[in-house]
Amino acid sequence: MRILMLGAGGIGGYFGARMHQAGGDVTFLVRPARAAKLAADGLRVVSPLGDVHITPKVVTTVGGPMSGHFDIVVLSCKAYDLDAALDSIAPALSPEGVVLPLLNGFAHLSRLDAQFGQERVLGGLAHLSVTLAPTGEIRHLNQLHRLLIGSRKTPASPLLRPLAELLAQTGIDFSLSENIEGDMWDKFIFLSTLAGATCTMRSSIGDILETHSGEAFIIGLLDECVAVAAQHGHIPSAEQLTAYRNQLTARGSGTSASMLRDIERGGATEADHILGDMVCRAETHGVDAPLLKLAYSHLQAYEIRRRLINLQQRTES
């Protein structure tokens, strides 16, 4: 079973290194500069759960005689890179191969289904906080490294079982889900709330809770997301909602969405893919969602301003 990881950044590099360490046949598709760095230094993961240093198999293009075809292609790119990713992986996938996307939300699934067929697109989600250091190693920021995958169609691809068996040997907190889209909805609800709150307020959960109406804003966002999910047939369990409320109202919490870190470095965000999609679903089903619309508009304004600044900088140079 040959596995192709698209990229060797935070998510893909971390899980790919753990799979390689467990004996998986893993190849990383990366840009030439990253390939040169990996050739010189290897792929390093620095983690409180155990460091990893591997010599990875690396390619910069796929589909030719040098790379061959792959049984599983794992997508861990940002949503705004999905178009380029599809162009890259299409020649790499074997005729019976499957794609495992680890992107947040749902907006990417329709595009992948159209390209490869729903029966060849698995569901997956990752709970992992990592960053790619300037020196090239992947730094794991806490002790959470959870991965869920599952089939979105019946019968499942025969490749799902051996993939699950490999992941079970990695030391990752891994689960083979019987309801992967339900699990994805749970994360979509939480992430939309977290990103909506922390990006709009440009602060951590703990800081937001110290403001006059911060807790009401956070809980209001959560309630709107739950209402949207209900219109799509998904109602989180009482236990799941309690866990989310506890996480999102924990005093002193330094938690923030990775989207806020994207803003702080002046980078692109997944606003359209996450909050934009949630707002679109709310409008389609007549769900009143004023806080989601405010949060999304805030991120749209940031993106407009970011593009103008970048254009001005290019013009001046």
The catalytic site residues sit at 187
The β-bridge relationship of strands 25-29 and 2-6 is: parallel
The β-bridge relationship of strands 123-132 and 43-46 is: unpaired
Cα distance between residue 166 and residue 131, in whole Å: 24
Q: Is 266 exposed, middle or buried (0-12, 13-18, 19+ CB in 10 A)?
A: exposed
Angle in degrees, 0-180, between the axes of helices 290-316 and 214-231, rounded to the nearest 10: 100
- The b/e string for 177-193 (b: 16+ C-beta within 10 A; e otherwise) is beebbbbbbbebbbbbb
CA dihedral 237, 238, 244, 245 (to 10 degrees): 160
- Rounded to 5 degrees, what are φ and ψ at 103? -75, 155
Asked if 50 contacts 77 with a C-beta cutoff of 8 angstroms, the reply is no
The β-bridge relationship of strands 52-54 and 138-150 is: unpaired
Asked if 176 contacts 149 with a C-beta cutoff of 8 angstroms, the reply is yes
Cα distance between residue 178 and residue 154, in whole Å: 11
Asked if 71 contacts 94 with a C-beta cutoff of 8 angstroms, the reply is yes
